[in-house]
Amino acid sequence: MSGRIEIRLPDGVGGEGDEPVLAGWLFEDGEAVDAGDTVAEIMIAKSTVEIDAPATGILMQAVAPETVLQPQALIGFIEVD
C-alpha cells in the first residue's frame, strides 16, 4: 500500500492564547524515518512538544521552522510504499 500519512499538530496543543511554533525538524526533508522517530519539535509557552512519525517512510516537510501553527495544523507527511 502506498500513499501519504499526514503529520499534524496534536489535539490540545495550543489555544488559550498560546501560539505553537515549529521549532525545527530533526530529520531532513526527503529523509527516511521509522514509525515513532521524533521528527519535529514544537515550542509552546516555553516548553517543547515532540512530534513522532506516525509511520515508516520518507519525511516530507510542509511547514518551515519558526512558523506559527494553528490548531490541528498539517506540518508534513510520511510517504509510504
- What are 64-81's pLDDT values in tens digits? 999 999 989 999 999 998
List Cβ neighbours of 42 (8 Å cut-off, separation of 6 or more): 9, 13, 20, 21, 22, 23, 48, 49, 50, 51, 69
Task: Tell me which residue range forms the domain holding 33.
Answer: 3-80
Provide the whole-model pTM: 0.89
For 4-49, the pLDDT digits (tens) are: 999 999 888 876 678 999 999 999 999 999 999 999 999 998 899 9
Rounded Cα gap, residues 45 and 61, in angstroms: 23
pLDDT at 46: 84
Q: Where residue 14 sits, what CATH number does that domain have?
A: 2.40.50.100
Tally of domains within the chain: 1
**Would you place residue 1 in the very low, low, confident or very high pLDDT band (cuts 50, 70, 90)?**
low
Spatial distance between the Cα atoms of 59 and 49, rounded to a whole number of angstroms: 18
Please count the residues of the chain.
81
Euclidean distance between CA atoms 54 and 48, whole angstroms: 19
